[in-house]
Structure formats: structure tokens, C-alpha cells
Structure 1
Amino acid sequence: MKKNLLLAFLVTATMLGCSQSNSPAFNVIKNDIRPPAYPLITIDPYTSGWSFTDNLYDSSVKHWTGKDFPLIGAIKVDNEVYRFMGTEDLELNAIAKTSEYGNWTGKYTTDKPVDTWMKNDFDDSKWKEGPAAFGTQENEVTAKTHWGSEYIWTRRVVNIEEDLKGKNVYLEYSHDDDAIIYVNGIEVVNTGNAAKKNVLIKLPENVVNSLAKGTNVIAGYCYNRVGNGLLDYGLFVEKENTTFFNKTAIQKSVDVQATQTHYVFSCGNVDLKLTFTAPLFMDDLKLMSRPINYISYEIVSADNKSHDVQLYLEASSNWALDRAYQESESEGFDNGDLSFLKTGSSTQKILAKQGDDVRIDWGYFYLATEKDKGTTSSIGDGKELRANFTNNGQKGSVEKRIGTNEKLAFTRSLGSVNKASGKFLIGYDDLYSVQYFGENLRAYWNADGKKNILDEFHKAKEEYSQLLAKCYKFDESLMTDAMAAGGKKYAELCAIAYRQAISAHKLVQAPNGDLLFLSKENFSNGSIGTVDITYPSSPLFLYYNVELAKGLLNHIFYYSESGKWAKPFAAHDIGTYPLGNGQTYGGDMPIEESGNMIIVTGAIATVEGNADYAKKHWDVLTVWTDYLVENGLDPENQLCTDDFAGHFAHNTNLSIKAIVAIASYGRLADMLGKKDVAEKYSNIAKGMAAEWVKMADDGDHYRLTFDQSGTWSQKYNMVWDKLLKLGIFPPEVAKKELAYYLTKQNKYGLPLDNREPYTKTDWIIWTATLADDQATFEKFIAPVHLFMNETTDRIPMSDWVFTDRPNQRGFQARSVVGGYFIKMLETKLNQKK
């Protein structure tokens, strides 16, 4: 069916302005999915802002890790204030600080106590005593009492001096993994298998009523399943009379497109259209890496009358800090025709931190807007700034301030209007982005260090109309092309994956001139440039810009070719983000990573129509391929990319990866005119594939491991045999597997294998792409779409989820959702001669 017919039957186009009153309208193909979280500001792994709730005003804007990145928006219409974005800070007084902000000592034991251990009158005199937090040294939260065993039980005495009845009291806690926490013997937290930091929960009334003046007890248990361990907790009470924007707008709609998120609100007698735009175009790498996004607004009278309108936009110094109460330095100033607000940490320890649940605290965050007589800017205490806006108070100061929890705000007085529009610009200058084998590298937009962030803001302002038009066109094109490839539900998944996948990377230039597109392994271990993150994410970049696909590989080729990595297989990573000085992952994945590197190199050659890139790296590709020839058919006990499932031997899907990689090497040799080499390795791959079919056969399907009958697994690695047209595995292998998979699907998708009900959503889409017909493909896509639409875990998309319930198993905001584009990549490759 032609694309225009697809649009006619499947799409309802809505018309939205590009936020300038005289501009033409653009078609938006409505995305009907309710994503787990809504992308707002998507620049890189550090400068990342999301809405975790369906209404933009129901919670604070958050970093992808879940930490608050406050961004508050309010509009005053005829002197009535409506909050349309974010929430006002929950201002708390500490009753008992967590270890991050104070010192506390507790009793603990690693031997299982009696069942009454959490009661106030329990005798813990024989327990050990130590300072919190309790945990392993690997955690980002400093563990002052080392806990290396599986289980720990802790007790903390809290002395309360005030009557808390009728007040809002909160428990803050951090844990890794399973935690149960009691307040005065009442269970208030039971996390199950999870790991989170700085979770804040409001205590129910009965628990608050138990908090008497004098001695109280918080008791916490934690089970460290594997790796890191952590337990920390404290109590806080809410300050009174600290909010000013209590009335909210009414959110009428929200729509997530590839480069934009559109909101529409009713605010009394006016409607507000608010659009968050990230011009992440992969055909313009300087622009893609420019660390500036737009927040556009258009105000239209709902009753055709003019109304007095003012806008308020407030950001927090948190955007430039790792921890909320670090000291920051903030100021406001004018430059040319733009007004700026700027904040950054006072210490500016550049590239001093590495880790997973870590945010940037060097460089500077900026808000900017046009300088005019209706615009005022202020820095200071959030309560005062909001009170001034609400009560038509005086302009605040923009003099340099040093403090904690600083707020930066613009007010735009639009006058009495029937219609008005404008924009804010939001960005971050990180000064230096990553360390690469000892050398600090700047972001790609300023690779030579000669650019100025203020100049970039002015460019962004000048290019605004042109870029918004391009964004609307691109968003429509992506939806159209994805629908043609895989249907409407598939297209909607691709649209919500686009910004997440790109912004989980940092683009820099290596000292030798190579492009480096370095991923951060978000909420899995924080590695930088992980090869088994590259592999699943690669279809997006192979589809839109093959140079970025090379940028996913260059650092690993350099690592081996420089001699810094001397093993005969590819490395897993080059460090922990943002420090890329050598592998930090605790184990190797020899077959996994070597196969990944060779297959993606083969895909690059197929997209480009030549093997010039492979020729540059031929020697190391040969070493890796020979390793796979020797070790790949029946893998020994080792990890694959699904390392959360643990080590196991005889992995049939990993064997497929090795075989397809060997065949890819043979194809590359053929493209380079090495006919004898091509014939040799192609024949080896075909012979191994024939052996695989016999060894893995289990009747109506193929096994998880060669040695275990009655098992099964997704054979997603086989998709490259189809896409690259290698012709290694008989077509009936995929057909038999797909038919069997359809008998194993749960409500929210196809499990990864027979061992657990969880899955990887990227792999499901790869598995679905093995299908030769659209109907079968869509049978696998529909449950994934349903999961994203119904999951109760409101976070940037997780790729590791349960199939029998609407919950994530782990991971979030990772770049691997770029793998969703594999069906579109198949369409592109099929169009090549």
C-alpha cells in the first residue's frame, strides 16, 4: 500500500502552528501512545529533562535517573495564575538526615534476628554499631559501614522534639537491592527486587501519629542479591505555606513526536500551546551536538477577546549539580538581543566524577530569551520569585549569587493580547565532555575549543523558524516511513525512541580526527562506549547517518589497534562514563563483543556499498574473526549481551552471532576483492550453520542451549543473516522459530527465553523482523506497544521488562531503543540494488 493511502486510512492529521503567529501550519501525525515518560529536554546523558506524569504539572520535571530537575511554568491571565509545568519545591526540614546530608549512627547485624527485631522495645544491645550509609564501596552513595554479606538488619533511634500530628512527614531512602523499612514497627517500604536512590515517600496518617515526642525507631532490612549493596534512610517534615502556584491549567492534549513534544492547555480564557524541541538531525552533526533545545509557546484567546497575559519560567540550579544541595554560582546578564540566566557548581571539578546514577556538576546551565521591555529576569529564593510573579512584585536581582537550591526565572509580560507567541532557549556548556585515554575532549560542536556558547545561542535564535519547520517535516516523515515499514503501532514506538536513543550518547572528536559517538550505559552499570549497547542501538544510526554508526565503533578499534587492549577479541567498553581510559567492566564477553563489532562493520559496508571502513581495520577484524572460528560454534561458559541472565555455556543464540559475524567477514572480504578469503570464511560460516541446525534442533523449535532439550530462546541475532542477505541459515529455521514464539507470547510480549517471564523489547522487534509478512511482524509489536502504553513504571523507556505484568525489570533511558529502527533499516537495505 502506498504511503499516502496509509496516511488516509490510518492517520488523523492535526494542525499545529510552529509557534510564530504568522507562520504556516504543519501536519502532525498524531502519536496515540501514552509513553512511560515524556521527553522534554534531550541534549546528552547529563542534560536530560523528562515528565514522568501524564499531566505536565503533576510532578517535578526530572532527570532520566529520577532526580528532580525543577522546571516550573506558570501563566497569569487577567491576574489569575495557572501552573502548567512542574511543581513547586517540596520544602522540608530534617528530623533525621540521611547520610548524604548529615551523619547518623545505627545498630546493625548480618545474622538473622528474631521476628520482633523492628519493634521499638527490641533489645539490640548485642548488635554492632556503625555510621551510615551501610553498603559496598562501589555505590555512588558513600558507604561508611562496609556490608559485604547478603543480608543486613539495621536500627536507628530518632529523637523527635515537636508534635508532628496533622503534618506531612516524609521518609527518604536509598537501597540496593530488596529493602523493607519500618517506622515504629509499622512497615512503610517493601521494594522487592529493585535499586533506587533518594526515594521520597509521604508517610500515612497512622505512621505519623505513631511519631511521638522523644524516642522513635526506624528499622531497615536489605538483601544484596549481587554486586553493589546500599541502605540509607531519614525523616523529614514539610514546611508550611511555601506554595504560590496552587491552581493548575487544564491539560487538553500531549503528543510525542521524534524531535518534539507538544502540549495544549486551557488557562482560563486563553489556550496555551507549549512545544519542547530538540533539533537532533543526524545529517548535521554540528547542529545535532549543539547543546541547545527550544521551549516554544503560542497563546490564543479562547473567547476571541484580548486578555492581559504574563508568562513565568523558572529553572533550578539542580540542572548543573549532581546532588541537590551542592553549592552553586548563578547570575543573569544580557548579550546582544538575548537575556541569559546562568548557573553552575561553585567548585567546577571538571570530569571529576564517573558512575551511573551521577549527574554533571561542572560546566554551566543556561536559560535565554529575547531581550525586550516586557522581559524581566531574576535569581534567588523560589518562594520569593513566585510570590513576586503572583503579586505583581518588583523585579528580582540578577547579581551573582552563591548558595544552594538557587532558582532562575524569566517573566514575560505580553500585554493585552488575542494571540501571542515566542520561545525560550535552554542549554548546557559542559566545557569538557569526556576523557579519552587521558585527554579531555570537548563536545563536537566545539571540538577545536574556538566556539563560544553565547554565539551558539544567538545562532539557535536566528535559525529557530527554519529549524522548527524542519522538525515538523522530519517528524511527519519518520512517522510516515515507519508506518510504511511496520504499521502505526511500530511507528509510534519509533517516535518515542528517537530522542532517547540519541541523547544517551555524547558526540566528540578523537585526537586522531575520528568521530566518537559514545554511549552511556544508563541504569545498567554506567559504562562508556559499551559494544553490546552499540550493537542493539546501531539500526537507528545505520538508517540515518552511517558516519554515526562508525562513531559507535571507532573507540573500540582504536583500543585494540593501539595495543592498549591486547586480547584476541573485542573489549566490552572503554571505561565508566565520562572517563574512557580503558575497560572497567568486571568481565569479558569475547564472542559477544567480537561478533557485534564485525556484524555492525558488515552492516556499514552494506549501507555504503563499499568496504572501505572495514579495510582500515582489516587486521583486527581478522584476529576477531579467527577467534570466532575457533570458539564460536559451541560457546564456553560466558556472558552475552543479556548479562543479567548470568553466565551459561552452549548458548545457541550467541553461536548464531559468531556464525553471522564470520559470514559478514567473508562478505567484507568479497567486497574488497579478496576472493579466496571470502570463499574460505563464507564456507566456514555455512558449515557452522549446518552444524548449528543439527545441534540446536528440538522438534518444533530450537533450543536455548545445545545441551538442554525442552528449552527455547529468541534467536534475534539471526536477523542480520536476513538483512545483509548472507544466506547462511536455511529460511525454514526462522519460520519454525516464529511459529513457536507465537505460542509463547504473554500479554506484554515474548519472553527472552524459557527461564523467566521478562524480555528485552529491542530484541522482540529484531525477532519480529525475521518475519516475511506484515501480519506476523505486527503480532509481536502489539504487546510491546501495549506495555509502553500501560506500564505503571513512569520512567524513560525501559528495554528490560516483564511480559506478564506492566512493570520494568531494570534499566531505563538506554540508547538500545535505537534498535527499534531495525525494521526501517530492512526496508532501506531492500531498496538498495
Structure 2
Amino acid sequence: MEVRFNIRQVVMWRIVLFSGIISLICACSYSGKKVCPPFDISFSGHTLLAIAPGFTIKATEDTLNKTYPCLRSGKMFPLTGILKVDGKSYRFLGGDSLRISSLAPLSNENLGWQGKYSYLFPGRGWEQREYNDSLWNKGKGAFGSENGKFQAHTVWGAKNIYVRRHITIANKDTLKERKVYLRYIYDDQIKLYCNGEYLLGEEAFLPQTGCYRLTDETVAQIINGDNVIAAYGGNAEGTAFLDFGLYVENKTYVDVKPAILKQMNMQATQTHYVFQCGDVELLIDFVSPSLSEKWDMTGWPVGFLSYQIHAKDEKEHTVEILFDVDMEWLLGRSKVDSWCEQNWRFAKSDSLYLAMEANESTFSSEDGHVILSQKLSAKNEDKGALLIGYEEGQTLQYGGESLSPLWKKNRTGEIKELMKSVGDRWQELKEECDKQDCQWSARAFQVGGETFAGQMLPSYRNFISSHRFVLSSENKIFCFGDTLGNIREAYESFSTLLYFNRIDWMKSLLDPIFEYCEDNHWVKRYPPYDIGLYPIINKQVKLDDNAVAVAADMLMMMAVIVEVEQDFSYADAHWNLLCLWADYLREKMEKDVYPCEGLLNEDDERVKCVLGLMAYRKLIQLKESV
């Protein structure tokens, strides 16, 4: 009796929630005149630009110029923005500098460095500064395989290697109030020490680059004279590589005055900033055009940063905007390609593309830095855009076949073509995003006030920034997060996608799951929790099936789609699977005897069974009525 009462409580709670969804659907269809909310929505740590899951730019501070933005992985994105007004410079984006000078550079900067190495374990204390390594082998760094991705100066032909690099510091005072970094490249394992202190350990089966900032306590242990950076390298399989060096920041922009933040506002497709730079006001907008409804740009890995100046004193000022990106810090590569094409000035390093209008703009590259700048004038051209594009190197693999990204459909496959398409109409795209943001924001405030708007608006951008859109072999659009076909993640995304009326994206989340189950990849009577880990669709990653939860979630998601579309054709195409999953839940309810103690919640199997069967019953009703 207690179980039945608790289930009724949860079902009533779910009905209340479903009523909220219905009101949300009504709000989505509201066609009255929209007025943008008069107050700002701010959200620290939100997505600034949704470009690609492998390259999503996130804000770490509301003020934007206290520190650098970061990528979805947590790694800093070393982008600095400077506005020069009448000879004075103001920093509106990024920290003072990530430019670094080498104390002991990586091997590619000085044709190698001298080190001591041993293939056998040297015994305890081998990483200490005082350790005697006079009997060790001498070799030239870097160490690695002959046919590896990076050039090795000493062949490393064993499973393990222990390396000691002696670094002489002439004047420790030069390190005061400066950040000190250890840069490294490895394949497959690495452990690093500074004067005996353990710093980090990492493992990967592909060559990796990294940069670690030494703590103030570690820097304090550095002495005038001989210091030792010690490293262990392990090779699990394939090629091997080990290289490391010590660097110090040189404070390139330390004397640049931070601009004054006047306003910050976050919307669904954009984040707006207004800075005061002397007598000039600077408007900076981060725009994710792939969220636009008007043009089909789903999955386009391109975003842009628009800028505009305004002089309140209405006088003419000499103004120049500058963007500095440290490609070597970010990608581990100093090589930069640049060219001009159809009025756009491009710069490329590895998979990252930058572009700025060629008119009144300049490009320079030094020490792995890309610097793009443009002259602005209130009486001539007071606005512009910096385009950012990123092409992920891996493609999705399914049944031995490579699935093409959606943005490559009917195109040359070059990301620069997308960037030119966005760049040539960036002002039109921004106006459309302004219009959409105003409508969505007004609707969000109408439905749930400021709290609801503050949750819903950033979730739209977060979704697109963490998902990839690809074309199946049958030319269907599939949508994947990092864990492919994850039903729980799809279920959690549905409220956001419903609010923004992206029924097409909702189906794109479910289609690969249906195809996987219908193509003899899955023989169980409930759907898989997931179907692999990017970039390979092969088998479920999660060990626990969570069978009841995923079966119920699929039925509930299908019920939402049919209810909103008032069309049963999508459910009808997969009706056999839906019936199979509903039968599994029905048998589960009949066979299992659940204990009575404890309160129920929406993740309880008993509740999931009830909700899944309620959704199935709703589908039957819709099948007969629509």
C-alpha cells in the first residue's frame, strides 16, 4: 500500500511537471510582440563561442580581461585583445601575457639539449638534485622513436627511460613575480620532477603536448646555479617520445591598462560586453551563428567575435584593435600559414583558423604568435569581426565507415569556405541573432522569470558546443556528444531543445540509437545506455545497463516528440522497438517485488517503470488520434 501511495505521489509530481512543459509549449507558440528584458543576464563560466566540442571557448570571469578564456577541456585559450586609442593601449580580453621566454627550451627550438639518461631503474632518489648521475649515459634531447611524429635526437629503444636535465639559473631574482612553466611533449607516459619535487604524471596513447605552471613553492626551491628537471618516460606500444623544457613569462602586456567593463549581457546565441577605453567605448560580441534558426548552419564549426567602437565626445580618434593568439602555447606548434583570399586575411596553425577582413588589417607571426590587427575610425569603418574556425582531426567511425560531418555536405570540405560564407554576411547573421535572442529572452522571462532565463539561455549554447552533427550512410543527421548515443544525456537535453523548438535535433539524438538497435548491433529487450565513445561507434561504454531507466527515457522522449508535432509517423517508424521496450517494463513491474521502505524519487526503478508505461499509453492514445 505504501509503495502504491508513494508512486502516486511521484506520478502527481510528474503530472505537475508535464503541465509545466505544456505551458512551455504554449509559450513557444506565443506570437505576440516581443520586448527584450530591460535587465541583463550574467553567467560566469558560460560558453562564449560554440564552435566544436574539441574547441569551445568558455569565459572564466565576468570581466573577460582578468584572465584568459578557456577551452571545454579546461586548458586556457591564450587570446589577448588590445584596443589602442590615441597611442594608449587598453586590454579588454585575456590576461597580461602568456608569452614566455625559454630558460631551457624544447629540442625543436635549439636543435637539441644535453641530458643524462638510463633505461634501467636507477634506484631511489634518482630525481633529486643532489643525485650523482656521472655514470649515466649522455644523450641529446629529445628522446624517441626514429619514425615518430616529433623529431628525436637520441633513439629511445626500450620500454622505460629516466632522464635528468641540468639547468643553470644565473640570477633567481629574474623569476620574481613571474609565472614559471614546464612545457613537455610525450608518448605514451610521463612523470616530471623539479629538484626532486613531483610535479605531474600523464598517460596517453597518442603524442601529447602540455604546459604546467610551477607553484610558488616549487619556484622558491629553484636556486642560483645547478637545478635538475627529471622525467620518467614509458612506452606502452608503438612510437615513443620525451621532451621537456623550462620557461618564464616575459609580461609582454603587463603595462597595458585593463579596459573598464561597463556592461555584460548573455543571451542564447551571443554574449555582449561593453568596455570603456579612454574616450572610446568598445562593444564586443561573441556570436555563435550555428544556433541561428533562419539559416541552416547546424554543426558549422565557425564562430566570430564582432567589435564596434563609439566615441562619446564625437571627436575623431586614432583607433586600432589587435588580437594576439599564442599558437605554440595552445597547439604545441609554432608554424603558422597565412594568406589572403576574397577580401579575408587568414591565419592557420594545426586545426585552428583565424580570419579578419583584409581592409585596413595587418598580420604578423613571431615565436608562434599570430597577431591580427585592424585600424578603426568612427568616420570610416568603426566595426569588424574576427572569425574563428576549428576542424577536428578525427572522424566518426561506424561499422568500418567514416561518417562525414554535416557541415561538409555538398561542400568542398574546406573549413575556410565556411568561414568566408560566415564572414561575408557576419553583420546580417548578427542582426538575425539579435532578433532571435530578443524573442527567446522575452519568452523565457515570460515563462519563468529571471531564474528560468538564466538557466535556459546558456543551456542552448552549451548543447551545441558539446555535440557533433554527422551524416549517416542513409543521409540521416545524427547528433552525438562525447559518449555516443548516451540516452541519459539526451533525456536531460530535451527540455532545452523543446523550449527552442529544435525537434529536428531531438530526433537527431534518437536516430542513431534506433538505427543501432534495428541493425542487429543490439539484441537485448531494452535500449543501450550508449553506443560507444567518440570517435568509434562499437559497443556500450557504461558497464551497468540501467535497463529500466533507458527504456523509460526513450518512451518518454518519443511521447514528447509526437505530442509536439501532432504527427505519429516518427513513432510509427520505430513502433516495434517501442512496443518491445514497453513490454520489458511491464514484465519488470509484474515480476519484481520492491521493498517498501524509503522515499521514491524519479530515478527509482519503480517510478521509471510507471513513467515509461504512462508514456507508452500516451503514445497509444496519440496513435489512435493523430
Same fold (TM over 0.5): yes
Tell me: CA distance 1:605–1:416, structure 2 relative to 1, closer, same or farther (3 Å).
closer
CA distance in 2, matches of 1:548, 1:481: 20
Which amino acid letter does the alignment assign opposite residue 340 of structure 2?
F
Match of 2:563 in 1: 606
Hey, what's the Cα distance between the residues in 2 that align with 1:429 and 1:189?
30
| Structure 1 residue ranges without an equivalent (≥5) | 1-25, 124-131, 134-143, 148-154, 175-179, 191-195, 221-231, 346-360, 383-404, 521-526, 638-648, 675-832
Is the CA contact (8 Å cut-off) linking 2:601 and 2:607 kept in structure 1? no
Provide the residue aligned with 1:401 in structure 2: none
Q: Given the alignment, which residue of 36, 59, 77 partners 2:85? A: 77
Query: 1:399-437 CA deviation, whole Å, 9 max, x = no partner?
Result: xxxxxx352x33212257598223233323558853333
Alignment of 1:620-699 (within 5 A): 620-631=577-588, 653-673=604-624
Deviation at 1:28, TM superposition (A): 5.8
CA distance in 1, matches of 2:455, 2:389: 27
Amino acid at match of 2:458: I
CA, structure 1 residues 598+241, in 2 after alignment: closer, same or farther (shift >3 Å)? closer
* Residues 182-206 of structure 1: CA deviation (Å, up to 9, x unaligned): 866779899xxxxx99573343268
- Report if aligned partners of 1:479, 1:492 keep a CA contact under 8 Å in 2: no
- CA shift, 1:271, in A, is 1.2
1:341 aligns with 2:346: yes
Does structure 1 residue 31 correspond to structure 2 residue 40?
yes
Distance 1:261 1:417 in 2: 26
Change beyond 3 A, Cα 1:52–1:156? farther
CA contact (8 A) 2:269 2:437 kept: yes
Q: Could you tell me which residue of structure 1 aligns to residue 366 of structure 2?
A: 381
Q: String of CA shifts for 1:766-808, please: whole Å, max 9, x gaps.
A: xxxxxxxxxxxxxxxxxxxxxxxxxxxxxxxxxxxxxxxxxxx
- Determine the structure 2 residue equivalent to 1:474: 436
| Contact 1:31 1:492 survives alignment (8 Å) | no
Amino acid at match of 2:345: F
2:26: which partner in 1? none
C-alpha spacing 1:423/1:629, structure 2 compared with 1 (3 Å): same
Task: Please report how far the alpha carbon of residue 42 of structure 1 lies from its aligned counterpart in structure 2 after TM superposition.
Answer: 1.0
Partner of 1:718: none
* 1:314 partner amino acid: D
Q: Call closer, same or farther: CA 1:633–1:105 in 2, change over 3 Å.
A: farther
Equivalent residues in 2 for 1:204-283 (5 A)?
204=216, 207-211=219-223, 213-214=225-226, 236-238=246-248, 240=250, 242-243=252-253, 246-281=256-291, 283=293
What CA distance in whole angstroms lies between the structure 2 residues aligned with 1:490 and 1:146?
A: 55
Q: Pick the aligned partner of 2:401 from 422, 436, 439.
A: 439
Q: Distance in 1 between matches of 2:591 and 2:267?
A: 44
Amino acid at match of 2:619: L
- The residue number in structure 2 matching 1:203 is 215
Hey, what does 1:770 align to over in structure 2? none
Partner Cα separation in structure 1 for residue 89 and residue 445 of structure 2: 41
- State the alpha-carbon separation in 2 of the partners of residues 654 and 469 from structure 1: 48
1:311-326 equivalences under 5 Å are 311-317=321-327, 324-326=331-333
Say if 1:595 and 1:658, in contact at 8 Å, map to a contact too. Answer: yes
Matched residue of 2:528: which SS? coil
Asked if the contact 1:611/1:671 (under 8 Å) is kept, the reply is yes
Give the whole-Å Cα distance in 2 for the aligned partners of 1:636 and 1:439: 45
Tell me the distance in 2 between the aligned counterparts of 1:51 and 1:416: 29
CA displacement, residues 474-521 of structure 1 (integer Å, 9 cap, x when unaligned): 22222222222222122112222221122211122222132212122x
Separation of aligned partners in 2, 1:82 and 1:200? 28
Number of aligned residue pairs: give it. Answer: 537
Secondary structure of 1:629 counterpart:
helix
Determine the C-alpha separation between the residues in 2 that align with 1:429 and 1:185: 40
What SS does the aligned partner of 2:572 have?
Answer: helix
Q: Deviations over 1:438-495 (max 9, x none)?
A: 3323332332345765554444345434332222222222222222222212211222
Provide the secondary structure at the position in 2 that maps to 1:600: helix
Letter in 2 for 1:91: I
Given that residues 308 and 417 in structure 1 are in contact (C-alpha distance below 8 angstroms), is that contact kept between their aligned partners in structure 2? no
Query: Aligned letter for 1:470?
Result: E
Residues 429 and 650 (structure 1), Cα distance of their counterparts in 2 relative to 1, 3 Å cut: closer
Identify the residue that residue 547 of structure 1 maps to in structure 2: 504
Structure 1 residues 247, 189: closer, same or farther in 2, change over 3 A?
farther
The alpha-carbon distance between structure 1 residues 97 and 309, as it changes in their structure 2 partners (threshold 3 A), is closer
Task: State the SS of the aligned residue for 1:553.
Answer: helix
Aligned to 2:239: none
Question: What residue in structure 1 maps to residue 575 of structure 2?
Answer: 618
Whole-angstrom distance in 2 between the partners of 1:239 and 1:458: 35
**C-alpha distance in structure 2 between counterparts of 1:104 and 1:656, whole Å:** 64
For each residue in 1:138-178, what CA deviation from the matched residue of structure 2 results, as whole angstroms up to 9, or x when unmatched? xxxxxx9999xxxxxxx99663322352214346799xxxx
In structure 1, the partner of 2:481 is 519
The structure where strand makes up a greater share of residues is 2
Paired residue for 1:304? 314
SS at match of 1:571: coil
**Structure 1 residues 597 and 122: alpha-carbon distance in aligned structure 2, compared to 1, 3 A threshold:** farther
Q: Does 1:160 align with 2:167?
A: yes
Please report how far the alpha carbon of residue 381 of structure 1 lies from its aligned counterpart in structure 2 after TM superposition: 1.0
| Per-residue deviation, 1:332 | 1.4
Partner Cα separation in structure 1 for residue 345 and residue 562 of structure 2: 46
- Output the CA distance in 1 between the equivalents of 2:310 and 2:210: 40
Across the aligned residues of Structure 1 and Structure 2, the Cα RMSD in angstroms comes to 4.6
CA distance in 2, matches of 1:591, 1:108: 52
1:263 Cα deviation after fit: 1.0
Residue type at the aligned position of 1:53: E
Equivalent residue letter for 2:608:
K
Distance 1:452 1:184 in 2: 47
Structure 1 residues 623 and 491, CA, compared in 2 at 3 Å: closer, same or farther? same
Residues 542, 184 of structure 1: CA spacing in aligned structure 2 closer, same or farther, 3 A cutoff?
same
Amino acid at match of 1:203: T
Match of 1:570 among 509, 521, 527: 527
Cα shift at 1:549? 0.6
Give deviations 1:321-342, integer Å, cap 9, x for gaps.
9x7214755121221xx21314
The answer (yes or no) to whether the contact 1:632–1:655 under 8 Å persists in 2 is: yes
Determine the structure 1 residue equivalent to 2:373.
411
Q: 1:564 to 1:94 in 2, by over 3 A?
A: farther
Check 1:457–1:184 CA distance in 2 against 1; reply closer, same or farther (3 A cut). Answer: closer
Q: C-alpha offsets along residues 546-591 of structure 1, whole Å, 9 cap, x if unaligned?
A: 1211111000100010112222221222322233344344443322
Inter-partner Cα distance in structure 2 for 1:593 and 1:423: 44
Q: Does 1:537 align with 2:544?
A: no
- The AA in structure 1 aligned to 2:516 is Y
Cα distance, 1:604–1:241 mapped onto 2, change above 3 Å: closer
Q: Distance in 2 between matches of 1:494 and 1:105?
A: 55
2:71 & 2:218 partners in 1: Cα distance? 33
Q: How many angstroms apart in 2 are the aligned matches of 1:630 and 1:276?
A: 52
Q: Using the alignment, how far apart are the partners of 2:287 and 2:272 within structure 1?
A: 9
Alignment equivalent of 1:502, drawn from 455, 464, 472: 464
What's the CA shift for 1:92?
A: 4.5
1:93 matched to 2:102? The reply is yes
Contact 2:322 2:372 in 1 (8 A): yes
CA distance in 2, matches of 1:67, 1:243: 21
For 2:92, what is the secondary structure of its paired residue?
strand
Distance in 2, Cα, partners of 1:105 & 1:651: 58
> Partner of 2:49: helix, strand, or coil?
strand
- What is the TM-score when the length of structure 2 is the normalising length? 0.72
The alpha carbon displacement at 1:616 in A equals 0.5
Give the number of the structure with larger relative contact order, counting CA–CA contacts within 8 Å between residues 6 or more apart. Answer: 2
**Amino acid corresponding to residue 84 of structure 1 in structure 2:** F
Label 1:452 to 1:184 Cα distance change in 2 as closer, same or farther (>3 A).
closer
The answer as to whether partners of 1:435 and 1:578 remain within 8 angstroms in 2 is yes
- 5+ residue gaps, structure 2: 1-34, 133-141, 144-156, 186-190, 202-207, 233-241, 595-599
